[in-house]
Amino acid sequence: MNLTFWGLSLLDIAIVVIYFIAIVIIAFRAARLVNNREDYFMAGRRFGKLIQTFAAFGQATSVENVTTTTTMVNSNGASGIWAMLAGGLANLPVFWMTSIWYRRLRMLTLGDFFEERYASKRMAAFYALCQTIFFVLIAAIGLVAMSKTISAIASKPVSELNAVERLEYEKAAEKEKLEAADFALLSADQQSRLVELQLLNPKKEYSYVNENWLIMIVALITLLYASIGGLAAAFIVDLIQGVFIILLSILLIPFAMAKINLQFGSTGFLGAFETMHKVLPASFMEIWGSPSLIEFSWFWIAGFSVMIIFTTAVQANQMTACGSAKNDYTARYGFVSGMLLKRYSSVMWGVVALMTVVLYGGSISDPDYVWGHATRDLLGPLNLGLVGLMIACLIAALMAAKSAFMLTAAALITNNLYRPFRPNCSETHYIWAGRIFSAFYMFFSAYIATQSKGLFELFKMTMMFNCILAAAFWLGMIWRRSNRAGAWASMVVMFIATVILPFGMPWFPGMHSSEYLSKTTQTIPVTRAYTAREMDVQQRNEAILTWDKLNAIGKSEGERPSVLKTGEKFEKKVLLPQKSIFWSEGINYSSGQAVGKGYLKVELIALDRMGWDLSKNSYSLNETLTFLFRIIFPFMILMLVAFFTNPIEKERLDQFYGKLLTPVVGESSEEDDREMVLTRANPTRFNHLKIFPGSNWEFRRWNREDWTGVVGSCIAVVSVVALLILIVSLGS
Cα separation, 111 vs 408, in Å, equals 11
Of 117-121, 435-439, 474-478, the one with minimum mean pLDDT is: 435-439
Q: Which residues of 77-96 are buried (b: 16+ CB within 10 A; e: fewer)?
A: bbbbbbbbbbbbbbbbbbbb
Instruction: Give the range with max mean pLDDT: 364-368, 598-602, 710-714.
Output: 710-714
Taking only the tens place, the pLDDT of each residue in 146-184 is: 777 777 776 776 777 778 778 887 887 777 777 766 666
Q: Which residues of 191-203 are buried (b: 16+ CB within 10 A; e: fewer)?
A: beebeebbbebbe
What average pLDDT does range 209-214 have in this prediction? 75
- CA distances to 41, 129, 411, 608 from 136, rounded to whole Å, are 18, 11, 14, 31
Which of 465, 489, 509 is the endpoint of a domain?
Answer: 465
Q: What CATH number corresponds to the domain at position 267?
A: 1.20.1730.10
Beta strands in 403-495 (DSSP E): none
In whole numbers, what is the pLDDT of the chain averaged over residues?
A: 81
Which of 417, 439, 465 is the endpoint of a domain?
Answer: 465
Residue 3 reports pLDDT greater than 50: no
Residue 577: inside a domain: no
Please report the pLDDT score of residue 290 as a whole number: 54
DSSP 584: T
Residue 479: inside a domain: no
Residue 648 reports pLDDT greater than 90: yes
Say which residue, 709 or 248, is predicted with more confidence.
709
Contact 606, 544 (CB under 8 A): no
Q: Specify burial of residue 247 (Cβ count, 10 A radius: 0-12, 13-18, 19+).
A: middle
What average pLDDT does range 338-353 have in this prediction? 87
Taking only the tens place, the pLDDT of each residue in 55-77 is: 778 777 777 777 778 777 877 77
Please report the pLDDT score of residue 148 as a whole number: 76
Residue 714: inside a domain: no
Confidence of residue 536 (pLDDT cuts 50, 70, 90): confident
Residue 38 reports pLDDT greater than 90: no
Question: What single-letter amino acid sits at 423?
Answer: P
Cα separation, 184 vs 545, in Å, equals 15
Of 39-53, 235-249, 715-729, the one with minimum mean pLDDT is: 39-53
Of 488, 446, 454, 449, the C-alpha closest to 471 is 488
Instruction: Give the range with max mean pLDDT: 232-236, 325-329, 409-413, 467-471.
Output: 467-471
Which of 426, 447, 465 is the endpoint of a domain?
Answer: 465
- CA distances to 84, 145, 205, 244, 378 from 372, rounded to whole Å, are 19, 10, 11, 16, 10
Residue 336 reports pLDDT greater than 70: yes
Cα separation, 170 vs 177, in Å, equals 11
User: Helix, strand or coil for residue 697?
Assistant: strand
User: Helix, strand or coil for residue 288?
Assistant: coil
Residue 603: inside a domain: no
Taking only the tens place, the pLDDT of each residue in 261-304 is: 988 888 888 888 888 888 777 767 777 655 555 556 677 777 88
Contact 92, 720 (CB under 8 A): no
Q: Which residues contact 298 (CB under 8 A, 6 or more apart)?
A: 288, 289
Residue 546: inside a domain: no
Contact 335, 93 (CB under 8 A): no
Residue 401: inside a domain: yes
Residue 466 reports pLDDT greater than 60: yes
Confidence of residue 1 (pLDDT cuts 50, 70, 90): very low
What average pLDDT does range 191-218 have in this prediction? 75
Report the domain count for the chain: 2
Contact 265, 76 (CB under 8 A): no
Confidence of residue 4 (pLDDT cuts 50, 70, 90): very low
Please report the pLDDT score of residue 364 as a whole number: 64
Residue 255 reports pLDDT greater than 80: yes
Confidence of residue 366 (pLDDT cuts 50, 70, 90): low
Question: Which domain does 356 fall in, by range?
Answer: 5-155+205-465
Residue 47: inside a domain: yes
Please report the pLDDT score of residue 117 as a whole number: 94
Of 21-25, 44-48, 83-87, 528-532, the one with minimum mean pLDDT is: 44-48
Confidence of residue 233 (pLDDT cuts 50, 70, 90): low
What average pLDDT does range 437-450 have in this prediction? 82
pTM of the predicted protein model: 0.77
Taking only the tens place, the pLDDT of each residue in 483-500 is: 999 999 999 999 999 889
Specify whether the backbone of 268 is left (phi greater than 0), alpha (psi in -120 to 50) or beta. Answer: left
Contact 198, 577 (CB under 8 A): yes
Of 501, 476, 479, 478, the C-alpha closest to 488 is 476
What average pLDDT does range 644-669 have in this prediction? 89
Please report the pLDDT score of residue 494 as a whole number: 93
Please report the pLDDT score of residue 133 as a whole number: 84
Confidence of residue 694 (pLDDT cuts 50, 70, 90): confident
Cα separation, 299 vs 611, in Å, equals 22
Residue 239: inside a domain: yes
